[in-house]
Structure 1
Amino acid sequence: MTCAQGVAGLVTLIWSLSWLAEGSCPAGCLCASDIVSCGALGLDQLPAELPASAATLDLSHNRLVQLEDAAFSGLPRLESLRLSHNRLSRISPGTFRNATTLRHLDLSSNELHVVEQHYFQELVGLEELLLFNNRIVRVESKALSSLSRLRRAYLSHNRLTDFPFFSIQEHSHPFLATLDLSSNRMSKLPMEDIAALPTSVQSGLFLHNNTLICECSMYSMFRHWEQKDFGSARDYREDYTCLVYGERRASIRFFQHGRFFENCTLRVQGLLGEPKNSLQAFVGEAVLLHCQTSLQGRTLSYLWVSPNQEYIAPPGNNDTLRMFSNGSLEIIAAKAEDSGVYWCMALDRQQQRNETREVNVTVVTRRIVVEPFNTGFTTLLGCVVSLVLVLMYLYLTPCRCWCRKQPPPGTPSPANECSAQSSILTPTPPATTEGPGRKVGNSKHVVFLEPIKEVQNGRLRSTQGPEHPKLQQLRGDNDSITSVFSDTPIVP
């Protein structure tokens, strides 16, 4: 026999002695450490003897119809009890007496009809309750009142037509973060009672796959949840449906058929509680979040919940978050992943009151803002520069007509003087005096000269002065205007 086999045998012997000392393992069950599994054995009643050291007891997939009074009182360490897939239709008063250490209770897939107020009255330490896939038609108003440490409750796939939302308040269930009521038969919702729920409960309230009748107030609430990025609305967007005028064949989706709710006024303020505070911070900077509450006194205690569902109590986590005695929370060096909704819970243990507030933090990177390029200004500047250049071209040319002495009216203009017919006013360049049929090159900047004889508008103009000088002057002016502005093409 090897050394390893000897050690294994010794461990088995020790376990056997411990079971003999604390109670033997029931027949057919599997026992290992503090786990006892008696599932799928066809049991119609609890085993007679259960080991007192059991912390997890699995009795699922059996035929249990009822549970006796104080059935689990002999298990002082019991933390998890699984009773799913049985035939339980009712739980007798006192069934869970002395089971104060129980934290997880699974009663799913049974035949329960009503959740009575005495069912879980003794389970003051219960944190998770599974009641889905039963036949529950009603939950009594005080059925969950004693579960002050409850965090998650699952009642989906039942026959509920309503639920006592008014029984869940900030001071009664300060840790409740998940309430699953999906896949039931609720047609209307008490909007005021839901609005009074703490924000932490609203963010984990699942109402999809119900037979809801389309209403504007309901649509406003679901849109509000979507804007706040609640997981209940984000993860099941396509499953939030409602019936138009209660007609089952006319089912539409809240988040995909917004046209049906076009005439609805989204009144989120006042209906759905206090608006959340928003705070913007820059990467690397310290951010201080204040826990604003109307509670007063020296018996207040504070608790923060980060966006990643991390619970923060004084003095904080010492690495990135620091919490002060007045309830304020400091993000030591903000990072982009620190963005999200932070929940602050103020608890007055003396008066059993509780308030919850939230702060939406957005961490961004600081950037240097550069003024955008003003194209309108540059366009205007370009126009002004172009106008100045045109004026310079017109008035600052080397030859100015007014700087020289004008010749007599009948005297021909010399070759080097200015003419009234410039390159700007003449539509086609006339022939020069350099020679018959010769024209000035396009690359030369010249002032076109008045020839001795030229044809304008199909008429021959003579340079010889007429008998009446004044008539000659008028005729020349009219011809000049006609040659410039006439639509008749100029024939040389």
Structure 2
Amino acid sequence: MSNAAARSGFLQGLVAAAASPLWWSAVVLLVCLQLPQLSPVQATVCLSQGPLQAGGCLCASDILSCTAVGLERVPGEMPVSAVTLDLSHNRIEQLEGGSFEGLYRLETLRLAHNKLTTIQPWAFRNTSGTLLRHLDLSSNQLRVLEQHYFLDLPGLEELLLFNNRIVHVESRALEGLGSLRKAYLSHNRLTDFPFFSIQEHSHPHLSMLDLSSNRLPKLPLEDISNLPTSVKRGLYLHNNSLVCECSMYGLFRYWEERNFTSVTDFRQEHTCLVYGKQKGTVRFFKHSRYFEKCNLTAVSGLLTEQESSVSVKAGKPLLLHCMTTLTGQHVTFLWVSPNQEYVAPPGNNGSLKMYTNGSLEIVAAGADDSGIYWCMALDEKQQRNESREVNVTVVLHHDSEPHESFNTGFTTLLGCVVSLVLVLMYLYLTPCRCPHCHKASPHAAAALSQGNEAGAGSAQSSILTPTPPATTEGPGRKVSTNKHVVFLEPIKEQQNGRLRVGQGHLGPGLLVGPEQHSKFHNQMQQRAGETDSIMSVFSDTPIMLP
């Protein structure tokens, strides 16, 4: 029976058994018979008795896996529908030109754990190109990354090259990878790396560059400072052969202060080599005493990024950095001041200084220096230019405001201290009291009476003794050292501490009769006795009692 007759009979039987419970078995059988017609190429490669099937390759949907099957070269027949191709753990030594021709849907290519030593030009030609996003070449025997290796992969996002024998990376090896996000080159033998080739316009999406566990002896500080911020945050440099020096230490200290994960996640693995009498490896984040004498001001100044808006006090200097990704000998810089003045090295009439690295210094900021400064960088060789702007604000001092708030606080503190000292002197440093005090003469008492009469107005309010009183509280008693404030009733006339009682009148202009005089005389004698005791306590001058 022919195949056509068999299929016709099968279809007639399927229609007759559609109502039976076993109708789904027929559907499955029909699909299996039609598989070779749905994908002829895939059926030829995956279901034939070719090298792939004989070597144990697995073909499932859009995945082709030929791992650990002893392949010495890339297979010539592969399904064009493959999206993921895994050729890892084989014996492939080189990638020839056009090795992956026809794989227009390929997105992931794994060639890890082979014996690759060479990648010939155009090895990835006619592949998916922009679709290939993941390329794994780790654990091979590559020694040099040449500039033609990845020219055909503009859409590559992840490149794995760790655990090779790479000793050199050519300056243009990563040039064609404009979509690159992560590059892993750890565990190699690199002694240098072209940091200057990683620029913002050439690798705008790069956020991780792993160069750890290599043999880098020294870091080009200037090239690293010009890297985009996203690259510096993900630049891993631990476990290298770095020599302990101040610039290296300042770089990692600056990144630690900014909380870069490349430093904080591997803090203990950051080491450097010390040469001299004591040779060895130092974990410089743990043993920072080796860098106590380092002047990190210049290093931090080079690594500091220029903010888009800065302020400066009048009369103070200000340094502006021209932050650009263009580097090299062919790059020239130019500044434009707010008054549309072009500034080039070495500067203008003295108020602005410009350096060859593109930095501009305002010598003494004034009111006219406020505004927007434009920096332009031009690469004559590559015919590229970049510009940055910085808004400068000059803060002026006002006469109504103190220049430094610390002066007012210091003056207040000084006044409090002086006041406290005077109070202590007043309480404890009293004048020496003479044990033998001479009584005042009648003439002195008379003079005192006149003085008391002259100062009667002041005695009516309050009396605060500034010094210990010189009077005695009674015969044979010591001098009183108490200080008092006393409020006295109005006193019209007094003499030597006593009220003067006139006959026939009570003070000026107030006359009394004979009957009131006797009664008032007794009252005044009693009040005079009280006045004597009061005045003997609160008076600051000697008082002669009869």
State TM-score, norm by structure 1: 0.58
Classify the secondary structure of the residue corresponding to 1:41: coil
2:91 counterpart of 1:60: no
Query: Secondary structure in 1 aligned to 2:533?
Result: coil
Q: What amino acid is the match of 1:24?
A: V
Once the two structures are TM-superposed, the CA of residue 417 in structure 1 deviates from its matched residue by: 4.9
Deviates more, 1:114-123 or 1:249-258: 249-258
Distance in 2 between residues matched to 1:268 and 1:11, nearest whole Å = 71
The secondary structure found in structure 2 opposite 1:105 is strand
User: SS where residue 249 of structure 2 aligns?
Assistant: helix
SS of equivalent to 1:45: coil
Task: Give the Cα separation in 2 of the matches to 1:238 and 1:277.
Answer: 35
Does 2:40 correspond to 1:20? yes
Shift of 1:104: 1.3
| Cα distance per residue 1:105-140 (max 9 Å; x no partner) | 100011222222232232233222110011111222
CA distance in 1, matches of 2:388, 2:537: 83
Residue of structure 2 in register with 1:272 after alignment:
303
Q: Larger deviation: 232-241 or 412-421? A: 412-421
Classify 1:391/1:415 alpha carbon distance in 2 versus 1 (closer, same or farther; 3 Å): closer
SS in 1 for 2:98: coil
Q: Which moved more, 1:147-156 or 1:197-206?
A: 197-206
Secondary structure of 1:212's counterpart equals coil
Q: Against the structure 1 CA distance between its residues 272 and 413, is the aligned structure 2 distance closer, same or farther, given a 3 Å change threshold?
A: closer
RMSD: 4.7
Alpha-carbon shift at residue 63 of structure 1 (Å): 2.3
Q: Is the 8 A contact 2:254 2:300 kept in 1?
A: no
Cα contact 1:269–1:275 (8 A) shared by 2: no
> Aligned partners of 1:354, 1:79: CA distance in 2, in Å?
35
Of 171-180 and 21-30, the range deviating more from structure 2: 21-30
**Corresponding letter in the other structure for 1:156:** S
Amino acid at match of 1:419: S
8 Å contact kept, 1:174–1:354: no
Identify the residue that residue 64 of structure 2 maps to in structure 1.
36
Which is greater in Rg? 2
Look up the match of 1:116. 146
Letter in 1 for 2:169: V
Match of 1:230 among 234, 243, 260: 260
Kindly tell me: are residues 273 and 423 of structure 1, through their superposed partners in 2, closer, same or farther at Cα, counting changes over 3 Å? closer
CA contact (8 A) 1:114 1:138 kept: yes
The structure 1 residue matched to 2:533, chosen from 406, 419, 428, is: 419
How far did residue 149 of structure 1 move? 2.5
- For residue 246 of structure 1, report the CA deviation from its aligned partner: 7.5
1:305-324 maps to which residues of 2 (within 5 A)?
none
Select 1:169's aligned residue among 176, 182, 199.
Answer: 199
Q: Per-residue CA shift, 1:46-83, capped at 9, x if unaligned?
A: 33421001111011122222333311012111111000
Q: Name which of 173, 181, 184 aligns with 1:151.
A: 181
Specify the code of the residue in structure 1 equivalent to 2:90.
N
Distance 1:218 1:276, change over 3 A: farther
Distance 1:256 1:175, change over 3 A: same
Cα contact 1:171–1:355 (8 A) shared by 2: no
Q: What is the alpha-carbon distance in structure 2 between the residues aligned to residue 248 and residue 74 of structure 1? A: 60
**In structure 2, the residue corresponding to 1:201 is in which secondary structure?**
helix
CA distance in 2, matches of 1:78, 1:403: 122
Specify the code of the residue in structure 1 equivalent to 2:217: S
Aligned to 2:432: none
Whole-Å separation in 1 of the counterparts to 2:325 and 2:190:
36
* Shift, 1:391, TM fit: 5.5
Quote the Cα distance in structure 1 between the aligned partners of 2:63 and 2:28: 19
| Contact 1:407 1:413 survives alignment (8 Å) | no
Q: C-alpha separation between the residues in 2 aligned to 1:262 and 1:50? A: 62
| CA deviation profile, 1:432-458 (whole Å, cap 9, x unmatched) | xxxxxxxxxxxxxxxxxxxxxxxxxxx
Deviation at 1:355, TM superposition (A): 5.3
1:73 corresponds in structure 2 to 101
Report Cα offsets for 1:408-445 as digits up to 9, x if no partner: 9xx999875552698899xxxxxxxxxxxxxxxxxxxx
Return the offset for 1:2. Answer: 7.4
Q: For 2:118, what is the secondary structure of its paired residue?
A: coil
Paired position in structure 1 for 2:319: none
Aligned residue type for 1:271: L
- The answer to whether the Cα contact below 8 Å between 2:272 and 2:282 also exists between their aligned partners in 1 is yes
1:93 corresponds in structure 2 to 121
- State the 1:401 CA deviation: 10
1:50 paired residue among 70, 75, 78: 78
Q: Tell me the CA shift for residue 93 of structure 1.
A: 2.9
Structure 2 counterpart of 1:395, from 459, 471, 485: 485
Instruction: Measure the CA separation in 1 of the matches of 2:71 and 2:148.
Output: 25
The answer to which structure has the higher helix fraction is 2
Q: 1:153 to 1:293 in 2, by over 3 A?
A: closer
Query: Structure 2 length as normaliser, TM-score?
Result: 0.52
Q: Match for residue 209 of structure 1?
A: 239
Instruction: Supply the AA of the counterpart residue of 2:40.
Output: L
CA distance in 2, matches of 1:248, 1:54: 58
User: Could you tell me how far apart the structure 2 residues matched to 1:24 and 1:217 are?
Assistant: 58
CA distance in 2, matches of 1:356, 1:52: 46
Structure 1 residue runs without a partner (length 5+) = 280-291, 296-345, 360-373, 426-472, 478-492
| Alpha-carbon distance change, 424 to 415 in structure 1, aligned in 2, over 3 angstroms | closer
Q: How many percent identity over aligned positions?
A: 55
Q: Would the alpha carbon gap of residues 353 and 35 (structure 1) be closer, same or farther in structure 2, given more than 3 Å must change?
A: farther
SS of alignment partner, residue 86 of structure 1: coil
**Higher mean C-alpha deviation, range 89-98 or range 19-28:** 19-28
Distance in 2 between the 1:114 and 1:228 partners? Answer: 34
Deviations 1:176-203 (A, max 9, x none): 2221110001111222222232223222
Structure 2: distance between partners of 1:209 and 1:294: 27
2:191 partner SS: coil
Q: Distance in 1 between matches of 2:491 and 2:269?
A: 88
Query: How big is each residue's C-alpha offset from its partner over 1:326-378, in whole Å with a ceiling of 9 and x where there is no partner?
Result: xxxxxxxxxxxxxxxxxxxx9x9xx874759899xxxxxxxxxxxxxx9x89x
